[in-house]
Amino acid sequence: MSHRNVSEISWSGWGDPEHKTALSPELLSLVQGALQIKHPGKTAPALEALTLSPSALPDAGLESLRSAVGNEHVLLDDEARIRHLRGKSTPDLLKLRSGDTTDSPDAVVVPGSNDEVAAVLAVCAEQRVAVVPFGGGTSVVGGLTPERGAFAGVIALDLTRLDQLVSLDTVSRTATLEPGLRGPEAEALLAAQGYTLGHFPQSFEYATIGGFAAARSSGQASAGYGRFDERVVGLRIATPSGTVSLATAPKSAAGPDLRQLFLGSEGAFGVITAVTVEVSPTPAVKLYEGWRFPSFDEGQAALRTLIQDGPVPTVLRLSDEMESALNLARPDSIGGEGATGGCLSIVGYEGTAENVDARQAAASEVLRALGGVPEPEAGPAWEAGRYSAPYLRDALLDAGALVETLETTTFWSGIPALYEAVREALVEALGAQGTPPLVLCHVSHVYRSGASLYFTVACAQSDNPLAQWQKAKTAANDAILAAGGSITHHHGIGVDHKAWYEQQIGEVGIAALRAVKRELDPGGIMNPGVLL
Amino acid sequence: MSHRNVSEISWSGWGDPEHKTALSPELLSLVQGALQIKHPGKTAPALEALTLSPSALPDAGLESLRSAVGNEHVLLDDEARIRHLRGKSTPDLLKLRSGDTTDSPDAVVVPGSNDEVAAVLAVCAEQRVAVVPFGGGTSVVGGLTPERGAFAGVIALDLTRLDQLVSLDTVSRTATLEPGLRGPEAEALLAAQGYTLGHFPQSFEYATIGGFAAARSSGQASAGYGRFDERVVGLRIATPSGTVSLATAPKSAAGPDLRQLFLGSEGAFGVITAVTVEVSPTPAVKLYEGWRFPSFDEGQAALRTLIQDGPVPTVLRLSDEMESALNLARPDSIGGEGATGGCLSIVGYEGTAENVDARQAAASEVLRALGGVPEPEAGPAWEAGRYSAPYLRDALLDAGALVETLETTTFWSGIPALYEAVREALVEALGAQGTPPLVLCHVSHVYRSGASLYFTVACAQSDNPLAQWQKAKTAANDAILAAGGSITHHHGIGVDHKAWYEQQIGEVGIAALRAVKRELDPGGIMNPGVLL
């Protein structure tokens, strides 16, 4: 399945199986004690031991799909189907650990061009086959788990053969990329010419360009480079009703910004087959530091001052007291020494040496004036572990902990109440099930008028961890909406957030989106049940 | 009609009639000579001399409208109808000068709240009456000239009674404003509390908050503050199918960004009844300077370097050789001395004294290194005349000149070809009619990946200046699309750009927007023929 020199992601957990993280005996003991874990978690069976329903794809459809993309690019084997089953949320992993393969696609189809994507959509529309666009497979909100409903079958449309840097415009500083490029692949192609996307979400190692756009990803350096959707200046989308190309200018007054209708559309309208995105020169210097604040509120005020009045660092994050105490920003030493109270912020600068120096000097003055104390060594420690949390989750699930993350966003003035509301909902919902949780939080992204909160929850697994988490997640989602937050900041809607999304944007908003869906996807084959 | 202490805009031209600009004898003579003007232009008749068709509004509709907003807020008199007739493009003004009142609304309805707007839409949907949302009346693209078609009547929905600062959030730095506030009114309300929108388009004195949002306005300080649509974080829209409120967070991954579907929708889906927008502290210092570059290309490279690599000034504009020679950036001395060749750029800084000093010092170094020569006095001169060009147009039309502006945008790499294509199209189309034009241009707005070009065209009026301009405008629009530009950067689509807009976003894009329109406005009463 792998078309390039990148490791294939673990089918049952996160990341490169070679890099599986084990908990140190000390951390294991700490976790077991703190969470009052009674029993280890269920681990995944061998892939070979899983059983799948036979592919339901009609013969005529199968033949047409083979004609569209070539025999060798229509995969029916169990391994391919299992590797395209759901995403990487904790519920997704728990289901696999239980051997639940009910959502497997009937086939994996791997097109090699926009025209082949269009041909596959035509076949599927005719044959009433649902299509799940599949990039890195890293959704954590059920974005890859469509409703099979009355469809004749479901295919995963694996986009990883669409892996080209189509063009680089060094004057305009834009690159046109195909959707199947994974983060590191896109970075390598651009780095060879002296550029970077500056987009480094935690899923960076496996997530793809198309997924970044379709789910409105936001990276750890968003303060400096912007969110992925803010960097997108052009899109090409193949829909069942035809292909649309939107790449005329960065901004204009030519009606509604249609790019913003497809960004975040999660495959419900069509398949993104090219993305034109702003690029930046490869920074000569990357400097990450820690700053410790007496409290979460004081830290937030400092971050807000920087993003509103400048100078704006490239990376700007802030852990709450509990997360700081556990050193979650430094996965090398979680629970170890160095947690000296207060709240740890990570502040990073990328750019030319001169630019980094100037911004660091001016920002440090602001941070110091607002109560920050520098902790330089925390920066490199954060950098070293910036992609490691999902690996750690696998080990914690093995150990019997239930671990998951969720996130939200609102305006700055609403952040304190939103923070309390979500924390309380999680503590109450899990406590009521006899598994009081640890709830950790950090401000992960900042804007002039608002910020995002990223929560990590850990507790002992009950006998039915899926149901246990569902209750907690429901309580958290209700609390988010009640406190005026968005049901998601950068994970997306998928199937999991749909009920709350409908409340958030209201009947008229949903009606508008459904109208677009009916027009562009009259058969409703595109990721049915996801988003809408 | 005026609800506040602001002068009413001239019904037949631009601006405060008290501030009508006369051409100096020197300038008149220069213009007459340069453009080979043969005869003066037709001037407007007295308002009282115009004749209108009787209001076509059905009696039942009229009564229902009076119930919805109160008798005194349904205006049927000729003056009100004429004052809500079309916008402020040169063709609009030429039609008025000819006494053409064919597009007059049948009534002017002035609601006082979101609920009254909704009630008016309900009446109009039932009575099959078309609705033209009307803020400042400053559209230059036919945004106020709907297709009457088979409708029972047309009303102008005057929003100027919706004139409140609803709330100011000083922590999040956002303000919620009603749509009928004119630029200076909104600024005064915010200034009283120490804030500014930072939005100063040429139409600032009369255009409204709702119009800024509905037509994606961009101000002269957009380099620093951003475009208006980039500052909007929340909207409330009353549609015939219900009201939608979108104000949860600055950015999120909660599906498509629906705000971006209503920004730029030009009243075709509904009426914007509240806008939540980022505000900035009133700058302590405003500093505008001129910089002269040897050529348009060199000036563009300097602007591009600043916007891409920083530091980013607040105002950043660049006139081409011809515009610089005519000193159009300094309306106090058009055609006068001081035009010493090359291209004049206006570079401005707003902020704290410290911030302005630092940015000016660093930016000046860049500008100098890239061939710029400072011309400090050009800054204040530009500032003094920044809103005066539309006044000048009235005087030039009187003198027999045909004067109009148009604008476009694309990525930086495409700017030189776009510039040449539009210039050539205008020169050729007007030259073929025996009226060779002066074509002036400036880069009016810059982005990391692109820029806008703003053209001013002047020639002698032919016997039929409307038809004369239509040919030139058609040629320019064709040239814009052929060169890969957007049919508009900040003026919008209206009726005038619709044919080219359809080509620009393509069949699938148009189909998606029409689907939204059918859903939100099933009777098609909202600004029919505008945008879609």
The minimum CA-CA distance between A395 and chain B, rounded to whole Å, is 29
Among candidates A211, A201, A253, which has minimal Cα distance to A232? A211
CA-to-CA distance for A326 and A392, rounded, in angstroms?
14
Inter-chain touch A493–B310, beta carbons under 8 Å: no
Considering only alpha carbons, which residue of chain A is nearest residue B496?
Answer: A254
Residues of chain B contacting residue A227, judged by C-beta atoms under 8 Å apart = 251
The 10s digit of each residue's pLDDT in B174-198 is: 999 999 999 999 999 999 999 999 9
How confident is the model at residue A5, as a pLDDT?
54
Structure tokens at A333: 């030493």
Q: Which residues of B touch A238 (CB under 8 A)?
A: none
The whole-angstrom distance between residue A22's C-alpha and the CA centroid of its chain comes to 23
Question: A344 phi and psi, to 5 degrees?
Answer: -95, 130
With bands split at pLDDT 50, 70 and 90, how would you rate the model's confidence at B423?
A: very high
Question: Would you state the structure tokens that stand for residue B503, as one six-digit string?
Answer: 């080509």
> What is the reported pLDDT for B205?
95
Q: What confidence tens digit (pLDDT) does each residue in B134-175 have? A: 999 999 999 999 999 999 999 999 999 999 999 999 999 999
The edge-to-edge listing of strands for the beta sheet with B74-75 is: B74-75, B107-109, B153-158, B129-134
Domains and CATH numbers, chain A: 165-281 (3.30.465.10), 285-384 (3.30.70.3450)
CA–CA separation, A447 and A288 (whole Å): 19
Could you read off the pLDDT of B35-53 as tens digits, one per residue? 999 899 999 999 999 999 9
Q: What is the pLDDT of residue A26?
A: 85
Q: List Cα–Cα distances, B415 to A171, B121, B262, B420, B483, in angstroms.
A: 11, 43, 28, 9, 9
How high is the ipTM of this complex? 0.96
A200 exposed, middle or buried (CB, 10 Å; 0-12, 13-18, 19+)? buried
Q: What is the pLDDT of residue A22?
A: 85
pLDDT, chain B, mean: 95
Question: Across the interface, do A412 and B504 touch by the CB < 8 Å criterion?
Answer: no
- Give the CA distances from residue A365 to residues A46, A256, A291, A370, in Å, rounded to whole numbers and listed in that order: 55, 42, 12, 9
Q: For A119-141, write each residue's pLDDT tens digit.
A: 999 999 999 999 999 999 999 99
Do the Cβ atoms of B242 and A450 come within 8 Å? no
Rounded distance between C-alpha atoms, residue B291 and residue B372, angstroms: 6
Q: Give A406→chain B minimum CA distance, Å.
A: 13
Closest approach of A56 to chain B, Cα-based (Å): 30
Going residue by residue through chain A, which has 532 residues, state the pLDDT in tens, using 9 for 90 and above: 444 556 789 999 999 888 888 888 888 998 999 999 989 999 999 999 999 999 999 999 999 999 999 999 999 999 999 999 999 999 999 999 999 999 999 999 999 999 999 999 999 999 999 999 999 999 999 999 999 999 999 999 999 999 999 999 999 999 999 999 999 999 999 999 999 999 999 999 999 999 999 999 999 999 999 999 999 999 999 999 999 999 999 999 999 999 999 999 999 999 999 999 999 999 999 999 999 999 999 999 999 999 999 999 999 999 999 999 987 555 555 555 545 689 999 999 999 999 999 999 999 999 999 999 999 999 999 999 999 889 999 999 999 999 999 999 999 999 999 999 999 999 999 999 999 999 999 999 999 999 999 999 999 999 999 999 999 999 999 999 999 999 999 999 999 999 999 999 999 999 999 999 999 999 999 999 999 9
Residue B420: which residues within 8 A CB-CB, separation 6 or more?
A: none
Question: How far from chain centre, in Å, is Cα B148?
Answer: 24
Omega of the bond leading into B374 within 30 degrees of 0 (cis) = no
Question: How much is the pLDDT for B330?
Answer: 57
β-pairing verdict for B107-109 and B153-158: parallel
Which among A172, A215, A310 has CB closest to B449? A172
Which of A251, A413, A501 minimises the CB distance to B171? A413
Q: Residue B17: which pLDDT band, with cuts at 50, 70 and 90?
A: confident
pLDDT surpassing 50 at residue B1:
no
A260 → closest Cβ in B260, B308, B411: B260
Separation of alpha carbons B65 and B122, rounded Å: 10
Confidence of residue B434 (pLDDT cuts 50, 70, 90): very high
Give the pairing type, strands B285-293 and A74-75. unpaired
DSSP assignment of B387-445: T-HHHHHHHHHHHTEEEEEEEEEEEGGGHHHHHHHHHHHHHHHHHTTT-PPEEEEEEEE
Kind and range of the H or E element at B157?
strand B153-158
* Cα(B181)–Cα(B108) distance, integer angstroms: 18
Sequence-distant (≥ 6) Cβ neighbours of residue A373 within 8 angstroms: A291, A292, A293
Its pTM stands at: 0.96
Query: Which pLDDT value is given to residue B2?
Result: 43
Question: In B, which residues are within 8 Å of A524 by CB distance?
Answer: none
Crossing angle (nearest 10°) for helices A90-97 and A465-482: 170
- DSSP H helices, A370-414, are 378-384, 389-399
Query: Chain A closest CA to B323's CA: distance in Å?
Result: 23
CB count in 10 Å sphere of residue A2:
9
Assess contact for A157 and A147: CB atoms under 8 A.
Answer: no
SS3 B86: coil
Strand partners, B246: B235
Q: What is the pLDDT of residue A331?
A: 56
Residue B122 CB-density burial (10 A; 0-12 exposed, 13-18 middle, 19+ buried) = middle
B260 token code pair:
């971006």
Which residues in chain B touch residue A233, judged by CB atoms under 8 angstroms apart? 411, 449-450
CA separation for the pair B458, A413 (Å, rounded):
51
- Give the model confidence (pLDDT) of B488-513 as tens digits: 999 999 999 999 999 999 999 999 99
What was the pLDDT predicted at B7? 74
Question: What would the mean pLDDT of B348-357 be, rounded to a whole number?
Answer: 97
Q: Nearest residue on chain B to A240, judged by CA atoms?
A: B508
The confidence score (pLDDT) of residue A328 equals 59
Contact A469, A402 (CB under 8 A): yes
Query: Lowest-pLDDT range, A485-499, B89-103, B283-297, B331-345?
Result: B331-345
Q: What is the pLDDT of residue A410?
A: 98
Angstrom distance (rounded) from CA B145 to CA B137: 11
The span from the CA of A214 to the CA of B235, in Å, is 23
At B211, which helix (H) or strand (E)?
helix B209-214
CB contact under 8 Å between B265 and A255, yes or no, is yes
